[in-house]
Structures are given as C-alpha cells and as structure tokens.
C-alpha cells in the first residue's frame, strides 16, 4: 500500500507487467484470499492510485474465479492426460495436420470431422489447443514414442478426445486473456449469474483495442494485396505445388503404399539423400517464396543488412543463410508429402494413417547435414525449430513443428528393446510455418542489424520530403541522457522520430515486449524533449550549422514513435503519435490507395485514390499524417464496427466475450467516403485474373 501511495500508478503497472496479480497454473486458495483482502482494504482509500488499484483488483479477482472454473472443469481431463500410453498424441497431431491440409491446401478429405473443425474455427486455433494438450500431458510425464502410436489405424474421435481438446482450448483462451489484462490493462468481469457462465473482456481504453485490431486488419489487407504487388514485377512462374506434382510424376518411386489392401495402409516417402539435389534446391525460388517475401517486406520483417556487418546469426554458429538452406530442404519434403498424399485423397484409410509422420532423429540429422549444415552446428540449428519433451516449456507446434520425444523401452519376446530417438511432425503444419519469422518469435531472437537498417530505410523514405536529417543523435543534460534515431529540421518544426523494429506479434502472448518497446520509445522522446527545451540552441547549432536564434525561437517540436509493424499504429501514447513504416512509405511516396475485385470479364479492376491533392508529398502532408485524425487512418474509421469475439468453451458451458472491432466495407462505400474527404480519384488499374497467379500452378 505504501509503495502505491509513494510511486503511484507506474508502480501498479510494473506489478501487472510482471504478472504478479495473475494466479498460477494451479488455483491457490491463499492467493484468492489475498486478492479478496486487498479489495476490502482498498475500498476505504480514496486517492487516485489506490482507486486505480481497486479497479484492477476487481479484474484480477474475476480472472482468478475464471481460472478456478477452468481448472475444476479439467479434473477428469488431467487424469486422462496422465495415463500412459497417452491415447491422444497421434490423434491431435493428425487432426491438426488435416485441418491445415483442408484450409491451406484445399484437401477435401476429412469431411467427417467438419463439426470439430468448425468448433475451432481455424487450423491455428486447433493447433493451439492441440499444443496445449501435448504440453499438459508432458508436464505429468514426459512423452515418448509409444505415446504417439494409438490408435493403430485411422482417427478416433471419442468423447474423451473432445473433452481433452476443449480443455486445451480453454487453457489457451485463459492465457490469452491473462496477457491482455496484465500487459494492456484490459478489464474482466462476469456477466450475470445464470448458466452458461459468461465473462466479458473490455479494453480500459477503447483506442488501444481499436489500434491493435486495425493493425491486424491492415496486415490482412496487405496479405490479400500481395499477388497484386507481385503482378507488377518479375516473379517466379512456378508454384511449389506445381513443381512437386511434376516431380512426383517423373519419379513415382519416391513414394509407396505400405500394407496395401489392409486397414493399416499408409503412404511412405522414399527420398534419397543427394547433396547436389539439396544444394540445387536451395537456389530455386518458387512463386510462394516471392509472395512470402512480399508480405514480410511490407512490415520490414525480412532480415536486413547494413554494410560491414558480416553474417547474420540466429544462434551461436547458425547463420541465417544456413538455416534457410536447411529449412528449404525440410519444407520441400513436407510439400512432397502433401503432393503425394493428394494423389490418394479419396482413400480415407491412406489419408488418415498418413497424417502424422515419424522420423528418427538420426535421419533428421543426416538430412540437415546433406543440406549443407556442418556437424558442429546441427544441434543448435535443430533446437531452433524442434521442441524436446525433456525441456518443453511453452509449446506451440506452429513455431516448433518438429517434436522430439523420448525413446520407449518395450518387452519383445522376453527381451527389452528400446526404440530409436524419434521426431513427430505433420507435413502441412511444417509447410504452413513461416519459419524464418516464427523462429524469431519462438526464441525471442532479434537480428541485430535490423534496428540499424530500419533507421537507414526510414531516413531514405523521409528524404523524399525533407533535406535536413540527422540520425542517431545523442542527447545529454545532467544525469539525463538518451538518443534520437531521426531528427529533422524544417523552417517551423523539429521532428524527433524514435524507430522501433520488431516482428509483428501473432497473438496476445507476444504483445508484452512490443508494447514495452512503444512505451520506452515514448519515454525516450519525453526525455529528449526535456533536454532540448533546455539546450535547443546549442544542439541545433552543432547538428545543423547555420541555424539562427530567430529560427530556433519559432520552432515547435513534434515527436513520433515509428514502428516497423502496423500493430498499435494510429494511436497516441502519452500524447505522442505511434505510426508504422507501411503507412509512412505510402504517405511519402505516391499516396495512392486502392480497392477492387473481379468483374464478369475475368479482369480485376482496382479503383484508386490519392489521399492528397498533389502528386508529390509535402511537409504539410507529413504534418497531417502525425495528427490524431490523419486522412490515412480516418480512411478506415467509418467502417470499423464494434464486435464481440466469442469463445464458446467446454461445449458452451463457458462463454468468453472479448470487445473488439471488425472492418466491414463495400467498394462503393469506401469510394464515396474517400471522395467526401477530398481524396483525388486516379485512373483505375485493370489486369487479367491470371496475372495474380503463377503461370504454372497446381489448380
């Protein structure tokens, strides 16, 4: 209480960021009692900091009650998770892989599991639940080879399996809500007392959720625009699936059906380890590679180099180039497996028996060696994308799609036999993983050169408007010191831009560092403004020679936190605007936005507008971009509708509602809105639908 009174709301925020108000994975009566006692004590205190803490404690009490409910509903499931051999390992991996095959690769197989797939909505959510199931089972006893054997044939959708997956989904939702509460100060409350039990999560500040959701929506829009952007430049003509189809037709001996004409029939790959082939494969660029690079480039997520930096390292001894070469080989084999399985899609036993793959660790090591990895670097490289049950920690199969399990010791004919060390995977999960980025997410890796390169790229972008630009400016006054990534001087304004490069978060669990970066950037700018308010003349005289006192007297200072990603862009933090590189580049370049669709003539017609009156961007346009009602961000606002994201857990016994936003707009509404805001119509873009696809595809 004393610390709250002395240090105020910042102390409360530090406690929350550290997760100290969240219960552990197992409910604790003592912790619940402490929260109740704290809430009672706070009721009699009236200062602002203690009132704020009282509001937060109400949320944490609601979360504690929710956590207890989820834990109690999982009593029977935890017994199932502790049984050995584990009966659900093979099934949860197979179902998740099948879900990705249907969603990402247009497989028709698996219609009999439609209701289950609908319950989880997306393959990604099913993967999260399945990963939680595996991790929870492993906490009770480390998983081994025999835990991924049952059922011997097919996929067994039992009531127990459904209960296990539902518990995994509830644990994932609980963790997501916990992150949003502790990192972004969201508020949780129970709605009513009747069944089903309903909890509602609300942002404490509406604009936080708005900017968070708009960032993801803009990212999705960018993904759909990827083929259009590629159509304007030279690109690979072959889809990898088309290449696989051709490859398999030329070399049918690469796969065989084992145990044909039996319920155990399954597909087996027989791929030789040919170093020259994998070396050549590393040099081949498919359409999907170009599309992925285009999408990642929108938020500068591709590794960037600056002069004289040497090789880019992902881990000790593992260069990025080596990792990408090894991953290309593994990815190609995953696509090969998918392509071969497609030929037997109408044979349900073959498909269902071939969804989970097992490879010995020795074979996996040989494969990455053949791909060009030196022996001493194999272990650190495999650790980047392989999860190990002996040190599993937080597990998500989308980030680490190879699962290393313990060998099993069996009694066979009176003798003990030990299985080799094995690795479990699903080919569609591997093929769908954006592994260069997911590795960085999973391990918290930040490529050192990206931050420096980001500043360089931003400077080059701003040079289309401004002349007087300095980078990496160190500032000091007494005990206060900081640096400003980009400083721009004009006749009337001194711009201070703090650049923050990071990977776009894929979920709530990745928001903590990103949100901390943004707030730290705002803090750095506040310090910089305090220093400059005292020593502006001396600093500008050194940084921009010839600056006069009269010039300085009329200057205003405009700060900005500029992120590489779109998440949270458009909002303000402590009065400082947060912006992103994709929108900055558009504003500084041609300022043209577009929306379109296919017409009856087989053409895609893109209706286009320039967000300003002039072709070339001006300083006034940049000033307008930094305002709270910037034209760019206002382009979305009329079409952002409040929306409840609803999680129906435990078959509907628990409902979690999350107040958020969706973007709903027609092309006609969008065009009319832009015309009202003064945007300038420019000529429409027309191109044949075929231009948005590779010339050789599998469709």
Residue 698: the pLDDT is: 62
In a domain, 280, yes or no: yes
pLDDT for res 590: 96
Query: In residues, how long is the chain?
Result: 699
Domain membership flag for residue 41? yes
* ω into 283 cis (within 30 of 0): no
> CA nearest 371: which of 324, 311, 335?
324
State the alpha helices, DSSP H only, in 476-544. Answer: 511-543
Q: Tell me, yes or no, whether 226 and 368 share the same domain.
A: yes
- Averaged pLDDT of the chain: 92
Give yes or no for residue 296 having a pLDDT over 50: yes
- Apex CA 599: angle with CA 598 and CA 600, to 5°? 130
Res 272: pLDDT:
87
- In what side-by-side order are the strands of the sheet with 402-405? 357-360, 422-425, 402-405, 386-388
pLDDT of residue 651: 94
334 and 201 in a common domain: yes
- C-alpha–C-alpha distance, residues 410 and 413, integer Å: 10
Those residues whose C-beta lies under 8 Å from the C-beta of residue 11, and which sit 6 or more positions away, are: 3, 4, 49
| Residues 146 and 274 placed together within one structural domain of the fold | yes
386-388 and 402-405 strand pairing: parallel
Residue 537 burial class via C-beta count within 10 angstroms: exposed 0-12, middle 13-18, buried 19 and up: middle
Evaluate whether residue 675 is within a structural domain: no
Are both 432 and 459 inside the same structural domain? no
- Do 429 and 336 have their domain in common? yes
Tokens 């569609």 sit on residue: 428
Residue-level pLDDT at 484: 98
State the average pLDDT over residues 446-464.
92
Task: Give a yes or no: residue 678 inside a domain.
Answer: no
Cα distance between residue 289 and residue 309, in whole Å: 25
**Which one of 403, 425, 443 terminates a domain?**
443
Domain check: are 36 and 124 in the same one?
no
Residue 150 is predicted with a pLDDT of 94
Instruction: Confirm whether pTM is higher than 0.85.
Output: yes
Give yes or no for residue 6 having a pLDDT over 50. no
Query: Residue 344 pLDDT more than 80?
Result: yes
240 Cβ contact list (under 8 Å, min separation 6): 286, 287, 288, 289, 332, 335
Which one of 551, 572, 589 terminates a domain?
Answer: 589
Helix ranges restricted to H, 106-201: 114-120, 123-140, 159-184
Residue 388 tokens, joined: 């190990």
pLDDT band at 315 (very low <50, low <70, confident <90, very high): confident
Contact 455, 472 (CB under 8 A): yes
Contacts of 101 (CB under 8 A, 6+ apart): 107, 109, 110, 338, 341, 355, 428
Residue 597 lies in a domain: no
| 619 located within any domain | no
Q: Which of 39, 73, 107 is the last residue of a domain?
A: 73
Do 87 and 67 share a domain, yes or no? no
Whether 385 and 457 share a structural domain:
no
Contacts for 418 with CB less than 8 Å, ≥ 6 apart: 407, 408, 409, 410
Query: What is the number of domains present in the chain?
Result: 3
Q: 5 pLDDT band (50/70/90 cuts)? A: very low
Domain range for 225? 77-443
The phi and psi torsions of 583 (rounded to 5 degrees) equal -70, -35
Q: Which of 116-120, 320-324, 354-358, 360-364 bottoms out in mean pLDDT, i.e. has the lowest?
A: 320-324
The CA-to-CA distance between both ends of the chain, in Å, stands at: 65
In whole angstroms, what is the distance from residue 392 CA to residue 128 CA? 15
* Residue of 501, 524, 528, 690 lying closest to 604 (CA atoms): 690
Would you state the pLDDT for residue 3?
47
Average pLDDT of the segment spanning 3-29 = 74
Does residue 98 sit in the same domain as residue 164? yes
Give the model's pLDDT for residue 454: 95
Say whether pLDDT at 354 is over 60.
Answer: yes
Nearest to 87 by CA among 179, 16, 158: 158
Measure the CA–CA gap between 102 and 17, rounded to whole angstroms. 39
Per DSSP, the residues of 301-332 read -S----TT----EEETTEEHHHHHHHHHHHHH
- Cα 155 vs. chain centroid, distance in angstroms? 30
Percent residues over pLDDT 70 in the chain: 97
Q: Which of 162-166, 438-442, 471-475 has the lowest mean pLDDT?
A: 438-442
Range 347-373 average pLDDT = 96
In this structure, what CATH number is given to the domain that contains residue 541? 3.40.1350
Write the pLDDT tens digit of every residue in 508-552.
Answer: 878 888 999 999 999 999 999 999 999 999 999 999 999 999 999
Name the 3-class secondary structure at 646: strand
Q: What is the rounded average pLDDT of the residues 21-43?
A: 88
414 and 515 in a common domain: no
State the pLDDT at residue 314. 86
Q: Residue 494: inside a domain, yes or no?
A: yes
Q: Residue 78 — very low, low, confident or very high, per pLDDT cuts 50/70/90?
A: very high
Q: Bigger pLDDT: 437 or 466?
A: 466
Q: How confident is the model at residue 16 (pLDDT cuts 50, 70, 90)?
A: confident
C-alpha to C-alpha distance for 621 and 614, rounded to whole angstroms: 10
The pLDDT tens digits for 655-684 are: 999 999 999 999 999 999 999 999 999 999
Q: 651 lies in a domain?
A: no
Count other C-beta atoms under 10 Å from residue 268's C-beta: 13
Residues 417 and 531 in one domain: no
Residues 421, 457 within the same domain:
no
């Amino acid at each position: 209480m004393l610390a709250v009174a002395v240090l105020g709301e910042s102390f409360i925020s530090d406690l929350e960021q550290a997760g100290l108000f969240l219960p552990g994975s197992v409910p604790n009566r003592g912790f619940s009692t402490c929260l109740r006692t704290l809430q009672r004590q706070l009721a009699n205190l009236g200062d602002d900091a203690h009132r704020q803490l009282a509001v937060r404690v109400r949320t944490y009490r609601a979360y504690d009650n929710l956590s207890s409910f989820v834990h109690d509903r999982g009593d029977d499931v935890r017994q199932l998770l502790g049984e050995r051999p584990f009966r659900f390992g093979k099934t949860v991996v197979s179902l998740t892989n099948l879900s990705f095959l249907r969603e990402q690769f247009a497989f028709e197989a698996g219609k009999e599991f439609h209701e289950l797939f609908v319950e989880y909505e997306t393959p990604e959510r099913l993967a999260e639940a399945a990963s939680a199931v595996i991790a929870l089972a492993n906490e009770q006893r480390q998983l081994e080879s025999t835990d991924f054997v049952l059922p011997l044939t097919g996929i067994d959708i039992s009531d127990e399996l459904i209960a296990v997956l539902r518990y995994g989904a509830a644990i994932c939702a609980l963790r997501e809500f916990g992150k949003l509460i502790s990192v972004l100060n969201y508020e949780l409350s129970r709605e009513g007392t009747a069944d089903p039990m309903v909890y509602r999560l609300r942002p404490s500040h509406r604009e936080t959720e708005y900017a968070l959701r708009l960032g993801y929506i803009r990212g999705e829009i960018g993904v759909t625009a990827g083929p259009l952007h590629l159509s304007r430049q030279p690109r690979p003509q072959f889809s990898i699936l088309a290449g696989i189809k051709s490859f398999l037709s030329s070399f049918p001996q690469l796969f065989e059906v084992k145990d044909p004409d039996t319920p155990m029939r399954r597909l087996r790959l027989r791929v030789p380890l040919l170093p020259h082939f994998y070396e050549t494969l590393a040099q081949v660029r498919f359409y999907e590679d170009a599309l992925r690079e285009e999408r990642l480039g929108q938020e500068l997520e591709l590794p960037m180099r600056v002069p004289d930096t040497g090789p880019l390292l992902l881990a000790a001894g593992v260069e990025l180039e080596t990792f990408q070469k090894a991953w290309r080989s593994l990815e190609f084999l995953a696509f090969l497996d998918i392509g071969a399985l497609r030929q037997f899609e109408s044979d349900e036993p073959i498909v269902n028996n071939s969804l989970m793959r097992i490879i010995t660790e020795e074979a996996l090591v040989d494969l990455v060696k053949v791909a060009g990895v030196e022996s001493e670097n194999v272990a650190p490289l495999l650790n980047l994308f392989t999860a190990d049950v002996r040190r599993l920690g937080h597990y998500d199969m989308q980030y680490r799609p190879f699962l290393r399990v313990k060998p099993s010791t069996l009694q066979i004919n009176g003798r003990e036999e030990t299985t080799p060390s094995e690795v479990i995977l699903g080919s569609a999960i591997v093929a769908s993983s954006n592994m260069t980025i997911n590795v960085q997410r999973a391990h918290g890796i930040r490529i050192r050169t990206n931050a420096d390169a980001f500043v360089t790229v931003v400077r080059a972008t701003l040079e289309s408007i401004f002349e007087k630009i300095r980078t990496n400016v160190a500032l000091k006054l007494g005990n206060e010191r900081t640096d400003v990534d980009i400083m721009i001087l004009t006749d009337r304004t001194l711009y201070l831009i703090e650049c923050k490069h990071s990977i776009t978060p894929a979920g709530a669990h990745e928001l903590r560092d990103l949100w901390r970066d943004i707030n730290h950037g705002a803090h750095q700018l506040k310090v910089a403004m305090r220093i400059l308010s005292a020593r502006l003349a001396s600093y500008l005289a050194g940084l921009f020679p010839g600056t006069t006192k009269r010039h300085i007297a009329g200057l205003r200072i405009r700060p900005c936190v500029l992120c590489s990603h779109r998440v949270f862009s458009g909002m303000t933090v402590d009065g400082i605007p947060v912006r992103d590189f994709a929108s900055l580049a558009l504003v500084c370049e041609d300022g043209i936005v577009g929306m379109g669709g296919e017409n009856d003539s087989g053409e895609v017609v893109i209706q286009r507008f320039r967000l300003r009156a002039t072709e070339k961007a001006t300083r006034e346009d940049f000033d307008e971009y930094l305002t709270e009602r910037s034209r760019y961000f206002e382009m979305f606002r009329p079409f952002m509708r409040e929306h409840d994201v609803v999680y129906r857990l435990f078959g509907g016994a628990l409902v979690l509602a999350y107040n958020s936003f969706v973007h709903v707009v027609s092309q006609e509404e969008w065009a009319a809105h832009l015309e009202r805001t003064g945007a300038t119509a420019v000529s429409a873009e027309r191109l044949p639908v075929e231009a948005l696809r590779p010339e050789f595809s599998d469709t």
